[in-house]
Copies of this chain bind each other. A is one copy, B any other.
């Protein structure tokens, strides 16, 4: 087929935005010195939290490492639900009522597919949304990476942040269930949407994760961040899926930035979605404390208030007060924080940072319903966590930044 005249992204004339083309790219002039926030994110909860991050820090340089474990190929179309939810939400195209998919969506194509007897019926494939998948699929087929494709799609949506897939390699979350036809593995989407997570998950598998490499920019975004945030996304199939990419967990452990998580569990129940069904599958209780402990402390618990020797890692001098947590790490290349390197540690409990433990948290925000929750080695702070509106969300973000000392 010959190249068509005119259109920006068609035929041989396909033009793709490199990462540097995005408005929030590191290369943009005038962003030198901006606070660098890196967040891991799933879908709806993560996106709403990111709205608060962007609003709380309009000048910040925000990078989002998006979960791609939910990705699925349907009707030959490559669909990335979480990346799209972030892109649409931050780009102003999300259905505010549903929280996923496009505003003013129609489902004509899906109805026609059903008329052909072509399923599955459980996936809500909207017409507007479908155009995104068509562009993505065509670009992937043409050899572009998911990182490139995501950047190109974001040129339209201008989310005001840099959205990176966790990996350009295919990773798909599958769920092992027992059915009348015996035990089988189904795609996460089939379990989540088709079975509504009612059939107990015997196991949750990150298919392909062991061979996946972090997408370009992902490790740097963690290493160079001033603060790393874990929004209230699903700890298993969103954050957990990202952490399953080899190198991600180590990068979180190694970053000099403090890592602050926000609990998706309030008063023993997920704020939204069916995270409890996922937590059950991995043997974690549906409590803020249990999820915090599942993420784990980056350092062994402090040796005690003011006691012990100083850690070798750099510390960030939080100017916001005593909640600040030292993002201590022996591998830290240097402090990019708002404050300079302090002389003393303001780390958890004021004590000494210990050795790496495989955990990823320095601080953990829980809801006031969970006041008193404790996570060994992690500074826990309670405050209202319901993202009822943008102001509430900004408040949560500010509390997380305060906990980080940013």
Binding site for B on A (CB under 8 A): 1-2, 4-10, 72-77, 106, 108-110, 112-113, 115-122, 127-128, 130-132, 134-135, 137-138, 141, 153, 156, 172, 174, 184-187, 190, 194
* Residues of chain B within 8 A of A135, CB atoms compared: 75, 113, 116, 118
Give the CA-CA distance A153 to B132 in the complex, in Å: 25
Contact yes or no, B118 A10, CB < 8 A: yes
The docked-state distance in angstroms from the alpha carbon of A153 to that of B172 is 31
Contact B7 A121 (CB under 8 A): yes
Among residues of B, the one whose C-beta sits closest to the C-beta of A4 is B120
Taken together as a complex, chains A and B put the C-alpha atoms of A74 and B135 apart, in Å, by: 11
Please pick, from B6, B112, B137, the residue contacting A121 in the complex, using a CB distance under 8 A.
B6
Across the A-B interface, the 5 shortest Cβ-Cβ residue pairs: A7-B119, A112-B131, A8-B117, A4-B120, A108-B127
- Of B2, B116, B134, which is within 8 A of A156 by CB? B116
- Contact check, B118 vs A1: say whether CB atoms are below 8 A apart: no
- Is the Cβ of A112 less than 8 Å from the Cβ of B138? no
**Who on chain B is nearest to A8 by CB?**
B117
> With A4-B190, A10-B119, A119-B10 given, is the CB distance from A109 to B131 under 8 Å?
yes
Q: What distance in Å separates the Cβ of A109 from its nearest Cβ neighbour in chain B? A: 5
A113 near B131 with CB under 8 A, answer yes
Cβ-neighbour of A185 out of B2, B76, B77 (below 8 A): B2
